[in-house]
Amino acid sequence: MNGAANSTFDMSIVDSYRKFMERNSDPRTEGWLLMSSPGPLLTILATYLYFCTSVGPRYMRDKKPYDLKNVIIVYNISQILMSVFIVSEGLAAGWWNDYSFTCQPVDYSENPKAKRMAAAVWWYFMAKIIELLDTIFFVLRKKNRQISFLHLYHHFMMPICAWIGVKFLPGGHGTLLGLINSFIHIIMYTYYLISGLGPQYQKFLWWKRHVTTLQLIQFCIIFYHNFSVMFYDCNYPKGINTLLCINAGLFLYMFGNFYYKNYMKSTKVEPKNTPTANGKVKEC
């Protein structure tokens, strides 16, 4: 009896899930890579977390760090180019002339610009998947101290947010997040590229703390951009605006705490004649 009831309950959940997907997902993106269901993405993220927090460190315990200098240089250049591409596509598809900063519904039509924006959102999602390599490189280089909760949370949550965007809302108000974030990543990965070229280039990295400042500014903009739209009628899901506000608020708190500990608190406790450590810390 209980088995039959449980089976009926399970079937009800599956049926509700299918109806939700059919009713709310964008058919234009259904056949795109990793977009058929959340299963492939969740498998990737679970494998990522398991490797970076358990398997990877254990595998590297008795090994020397891998020399990945050339690989990381190529990786950073590719990330810069991809971010430039996403920014240019986001501007061309809407944010340069057509989109409204106060309220922008999603265009689900076959309009070429609407489809171009949907494709840009998918490319942004793929960029977030590729960025998981940031942590994998840390593990293989035995830089485990840089794998903080902030780092893991950021790299875990961003692909999920981007997947939701491609699946349900590939355009409209929320895409400003991807545009700003990709612009910040152009600057950020340029910093990482210069940093990885060698000690002789450290003198050109005086603007390290400003990378984090820009990240804080982006979260302020994203929070305001999504919070303000909830107080008037706009044909964009307020539930998504709320989630984006909460996520931006969490990132603002965590990055703000990082900024305080690394650039304000450390300055207060260090003697004036003691040089500041110039080690590379990846915030994102």
Catalytic pick from 154, 155, 173, 225?
154
CA distances for 274 relative to 126, 268, 271, angstroms = 43, 12, 5
CA distances for 67 relative to 64, 88, 133, angstroms = 9, 34, 15
Output DSSP code: residue 36.
S
End-to-end CA distance of the chain: 51
72, 196 Cβ separation under 8 angstroms = yes
Question: Active-site residue 173, yes or no?
Answer: no
Listed in sequence order, the residues at least 6 apart from 41 whose beta carbon sits closer than 8 Å to its beta carbon are 34, 129, 159, 160, 163
Residue type present at position 236 = Y
Q: Which residues are catalytic?
A: 154
